[in-house]
Amino acid sequence: MAKQISELKLGILGGGQLGRMLIQEAINYNLTTLVLDPDADAPCKNIANYFECGSITDYDTVYNFGKKADIITIEIEKVNIEALEQLEKEGKQVYPQSRVIRLIQDKGIQKQFFKENDIPTAPFQLVNNKSDLTNGKFEFPYILKLRKDGYDGKGVMKINNMDDVKNAFNAPILVEELIDFEKEIAVIVARNPNGDIKTFPMVEMEFNAEANLVEFLISPSTYPDSIQHRAEKIAIDIASALNITGILAVEMFITKHGDILVNELAPRPHNSGHHTIEGNYVSQFEQHLRAIFNLPLGDTRSISNAVMINLLGEKSHDGVAKYDGLEKIMAVDGVYLHLYGKKYTKPFRKMGHLTVIDQNRERAIEKARFVQSTLKVKS
């Protein structure tokens, strides 16, 4: 007889805020959760059933940890793929599959996947190091991305002229045409092993220009249905082509001509889906659990207008975190606070997020602006 879901052990590689919010949802399913993270004080430490401090990039550590679990998932892509491949060979369920994580880990391979599957994306070339940029064949300005290990805005730079080339990454890199876009958007799609697929409504994002992090997210979008349906179809096409199990975040640009171009993928719960906890009938975290345990996927419709604000550490503060303005923002109706359990703040570190819910879109945005200007993470 097959085990009930509550009898299965879920192993999570990475113990940050995404793992924390996944565990908060897993508690509702009475799941046993096991977490591996290199930080002894990771946000998941005190809420996981089992916590192990260790490297998620070391083969032996990941392999031995994975043997303790029935299903293994990730909250960050930078994990040891070879260990996951071996665990799959031995019958462990790894979602997203190791082959998907391998593709996502390398932005160059990811771009080639788009090209091979007719997924619209910005024109690009792959180069070995910065010396390959000096031949003059790339028209300024353009974007450089490290093929591996870039995250949260790190590993991305704009090259305006030959002087900038001197400071370029000296590693395998992706050279991408600079897109004059109107808006950054995202669609989160979920797929289970049965092949059932559902998308969350398209969201609009605003970025902190200095940190290159999502600072403000608005759901649902007010773009015409024709654009939203196109974006959702692209997300479904990618999930189908990958044959992925789990949640997939698809980040895209809308150009000033109305074209939609895919920027990057994340095969896990994602910053662009945090608002779903309060703003949608099913959250991205519950949907990920439903997908990897091959359960029917939940209702992704929006309940209300939702605006998500990332709570970032103040630029000049580094030390034990203090939250200024907390009582003021909690006095506002429809404000939901999520702190990530990180003891120390540093400039632009993600310390939490807030979601503002209101049936009136403009009022939700107005409240969010107030929250953004009032709540500060200091040391």
Residues 5-22 pLDDT 10s: 778 999 999 999 999 999
Residue 212's pLDDT is 67
Give the model confidence (pLDDT) of 282-309 as tens digits: 999 999 999 999 999 999 999 999 999 9
Structural domains for the chain: 5-94 (3.40.50.20), 123-177 (3.30.1490.20), 181-378 (3.30.470.20)
- pLDDT tens figures, 319-334: 999 999 999 999 999 9
- CA 353 → CA 201, 274, 349, distances in Å? 20, 8, 11
Query: What percent of the chain clears pLDDT 70, i.e. is strictly above it?
Result: 97
pTM summary value: 0.95
What pLDDT sits at residue 53? 98
Contacts of 359-367 spanning 24+ positions with Cβ under 8 A: 359/304, 359/305, 360/305, 361/218, 361/222, 361/305, 364/218, 364/304, 364/305, 364/306, 364/307, 364/334, 365/218, 365/307, 367/307, 367/332, 367/334, 367/335
Tell me how far apart the alpha carbons of residues 200 and 217 are, in angstroms, rounded to a whole number.
Answer: 14
- Residue 2's pLDDT is 57
* Structure confidence at residue 170 (pLDDT): 87
| Mean pLDDT confidence for 71-86 | 97
Query: Which residues, other chains included, contact 159 with Cβ-Cβ below 8 Å and sequence gap of 6+?
Result: 133, 138, 140, 141, 142, 143, 144, 165, 168
